Amino acid sequence: MLIMENFLLAITSLKTNKMRALLTMLGIIIGISSVIAIVSIGNSVSRNTENEMKASGMNNISVSLTSRSSDENASAGNPTRDDLLSISQIREYKGEFSSDIEAVSIESDIGSGKARMSAGIDAQSTVDVDGISEGYATINKTKIMKGRGITAADVDKSSAVAVIPSKMAKKLVPADQNALGQEVRIVFDDKILTYTVVGVYDNSQKSGTSFGGYSDTQKLYIPITTAMDVNGESGVQFISVMPKNESTAEKLTSETADYFDTLYKSNRSWTMDVYNSQKDVNALVSSIDKIKLAISVIAGIALLVGGIGVMNIMLVSVTERTREIGIRKAIGAKRSHIKTQFIIEAIIICGIGGIIGIILGLIISTSIALKMGMPVSISPLVIIVSVLFSMGIGVFFGFYPASKAAKLDPIEALRYE
């Protein structure tokens, strides 16, 4: 009952001095809203950065041929057939870790040429011709709209087949005809190549990354072995590996490094460098978190300033209500009653300020995240901590004024004018 009476007294006091109460809350409002906005925006940036990097294949493992020589001037020369990875060696590696590997991508660029379909519109389209393995579409999230993608059987047989981009199909094939089964003829500066279309992939959307089919570049895909025959290549220098689970990526990276170290143990000039960008992703996210924490600490100074403002106003309130305190003590109020009254008043000021700050912080962070096209990331823990912290400020900075009021001598207080 006493707490309810003190609560009502505190509300009455705040209503009497509305403007002063609002100005007192201002520091708490700014501090709480700043901390929530900064933490939430920081979380959104971290999540957005991590998602974009993972979508771009940053979690994949890169395996590339590297010279053992640390001296740039002492080059190992060009790698020979024995130094390069063969398709069969790549298949053996994938089979060794089949439980951990989702897909392996190999790519070989033939170059840019003018493509024309065997039947249809009398037009041509500029395309980059890339040889790929069957795992390329999985790793690069290439969406097949019609037909099929490049398969392992195509790679094994060095088939003369192609998967063309949807924009090219729309441009060169009439609406009443099917691109599948038609021959596509690509004219280069020094050669002419002809392939049978077995699939059409979607490149109708733009993307901020060069990976996959979602870009402005018109890429036509053929089997990796077919491209190697055209280029006169006997092996590959680079492969990209997609782990089945993100949690096992680090383990697979280590095992892959050990595997190729053993494979290239007798090669004195060349070895395979195994690299996983997940460490870079984690380092970047960690840096963002540190910046977020540093700015939050700076914003938290506003809470300290707000708390000092609360204590200052409570001291003024004690001075203004000295006679009231004297009357209450004269009719039997104990020191604890007076102390509780002013602590509750301070808690209410900070609590209301905290609630307003939370609402304002959520509005600011949500608006900025949506404006920047990032996922909204609100931490319930931050909200709970903010509420408790604002209440704690009320108790901490309200304790001294409350103690001062409780210690007033009732006779002296009654004489106060």
- Predicted pLDDT at 280: 73
Q: Model confidence over 22-44: pLDDT tens digits?
A: 877 887 888 888 888 888 888 88
- Predicted pLDDT at 410: 67
Q: Model confidence over 285-314: pLDDT tens digits?
A: 788 778 877 877 776 777 777 778 778 777
With residue 355 as reference, give the H or E element that holds it: helix 335-371
- Predicted pLDDT at 212: 42
Crossing angle (nearest 10°) for helices 278-320 and 322-330: 70
**DSSP state at residue 143:** P
**Which one has a higher pLDDT value, 384 or 242?**
242
* Long-range CB contacts (within 8 A, 24+) of 169-174: 169/200, 171/121, 171/123, 171/125, 172/115, 172/116, 172/117, 172/120, 172/121, 172/123, 172/124, 172/125, 173/117, 173/120, 173/121, 174/120, 174/121
Q: Is the pLDDT of residue 260 over 90?
A: yes
pLDDT mean over 186-212: 77
**Which one has a higher pLDDT value, 166 or 51?**
166
Q: Distance between CA 186 and CA 108 in Å, rounded?
A: 16
Q: Give me the phi and psi of 174, to 5 degrees please.
A: -60, 155
C-alpha distances out from residue 246 to 38, 95, 286, 342, 389, Å: 28, 19, 18, 55, 37
C-alpha distances out from residue 170 to 8, 165, 166, Å: 74, 9, 6
Name the least confident of 97-101, 364-368, 395-399: 395-399
Predicted structure pTM score: 0.63
Greatest mean pLDDT among 55-59, 155-159, 362-366 lies in 155-159
Provide, rounded to the nearest whole percent, the portion of the chain with pLDDT above 70.
88
pLDDT mean over 132-156: 93
Name the least confident of 93-97, 248-252, 321-325, 394-398: 321-325
Q: Is the pLDDT of residue 145 over 80?
A: yes
Q: Is the pLDDT of residue 217 over 70?
A: no
In which band, very low, low, confident or very high, does the pLDDT at 70 lie, cut at 50, 70 and 90? low
